[in-house]
Amino acid sequence: MIISCANEKGGSGKTSTTALLGWELASLGYKVLLVDCDPQSNLTDLMIKTKSQENTEITIDPSLFALLINNRNLKDGIIDIKDNLSLLPVASDMNLFSRWLDKQDLSEKEKVTYLKNALNNLKDDYDFIFLDVSPTMSLTNDNVFMACDWLVIMLQTQQRSLLGAKSFLEYLQTNLINTFDSKVDILGILPVLTKGQSKIDNSILKTAITDFGEGNMFNNVITAMERVKRYDLTGITEDHKNVWDKATHSVYTAVAKELINRLGVDNK
């Protein structure tokens, strides 16, 4: 199953959620691949930091862009992070992907499904493939959403994130579902609280329930945790004696379990 956490607004928790959901699903026994499709390479940096806690040297060669434009097997770029969890890293040359693709002698449909086709031979090796995206509307991101079976819409409890979620859904319907017959579906709207039970949090959540329908909202929410920010510096840690690690992983594990239930996937 190919999934992406999406919202048009930047900084809405897409990358952190992707990394930690992947981490928890791998811990639960599912085989997970994280694919970084964002030239900012935040997911790559986070996972490399996580892996280099083991003091291993990691080089990104070939880059995702190089693999894609040379029609190579994407398996050649995959790095193992921990048991059941792998990463296909990105480098800044991914910035060139939209422009490169646009210049190819391909139909519009072939252009938007280029990544989907390239991912095809990885699908059988993983239970979940997560694609991390930049907060832009581009041919690269159209490729990501066309490749996905499911999207998790990230809703940070801020007015701009709510607007970003709505305009993203409109864009998806008009440009990918109506135009290219994309079969992507919305798994749910996942709230990320900015403060944690503040008035603003509650008021945005209420509006979201009215706008999107209660059944479309995840029951679990992601709370604001300093530990998640710290992982950007240290890589993901999971020290079972550390209360902050424990609290953080339990929040993302609950979301991972809800994701499994929503998908109707067998429990491991």
Ligand X SMILES: Nc1ncnc2c1ncn2[C@@H]1O[C@H](COP(=O)(O)OP(=O)(O)OP(=O)(O)O)[C@@H](O)[C@H]1O
Sites of contact with Mg ion (CB under 5 A) = 14-15, 42
Integer Cα distance of 198 and 194 in angstroms = 8
Q: Under the criterion CB under 6 A, does residue 225 sit at the interface with ligand X?
A: yes
Strand residues in the chain grouped as ranges (E): 2-6, 32-36, 79-82, 85-88, 128-132, 150-156, 185-192
**String of contacts with ligand X for each residue 39-78, x by CB under 6 A:** -x-x------------------------------------
What amino acid occupies position 223? T
The dihedral of CA 228, 230, 233, 239: what is its sign? negative
Q: Which CB sits closer to ligand X, 32 or 113? A: 32
Q: What is the CA radius of gyration of the chain?
A: 18
Closest contact distance (angstroms) between CB of 192 and ligand X is 6
Interface characters, 90-129, with ligand X (x: CB under 6 A): ----------------------------------------
Picking from 150, 154, 122, 147, the residue whose alpha carbon sits closest to that of residue 33 is: 122
Over the window 135 to 174, marking each residue x when it contacts ligand X by CB under 6 A and - when it does not, the resulting string is: x---------------------------------------
CB 74 within 8 A of CB 122: yes
CA–CA distances in Å: residue 166 to residues 212, 218, 253: 9, 16, 27
- Distance in Å, CB of 181 to ligand X, minimum: 27
Nearer to ligand X, 74 or 228 (CB): 228
Query: CB of residue 27 vs ligand X: minimum separation in angstroms?
Result: 18
Q: Does 84 bind ligand X (CB under 6 A)?
A: no
Nearest CA to 12 out of 250, 193, 252, 253 is that of 193
Phi, psi of 71 (to 5 degrees): 55, 35
In this chain, which of 33, 228, 256, 259 binds ligand X, going by CB under 6 A? 228
The partner in contact with residue 10, picked from ligand X, Mg ion, none with C-beta cut-offs of 5 to 8 angstroms by kind, is: ligand X
Instruction: Please say which residue, 131 or 222, places its beta carbon nearer to ligand X.
Output: 222
**Selected range binding ligand X among 6-14, 77-85, 170-178, 235-243, rule: CB under 6 A:** 6-14
Tell me the two tokens of residue 263: 């998908």
Question: Closest separation between CB of residue 24 and ligand X, Å?
Answer: 13
d(CA 184, CA 176): 9
Closest to 133 measured CA to CA, from 83, 97, 101: 97
Q: Which two tokens stand for residue 128?
A: 């979940």
- Answer for which of 2, 4, 12, 221 binds ligand X (CB under 6 A) is 12
Other beta carbons less than 10 A from residue 258's beta carbon: 16
Task: Return residues touching ligand X (CB under 6 A).
Answer: 10-16, 38, 40, 42, 134-135, 192, 222, 224-225, 228-229, 232
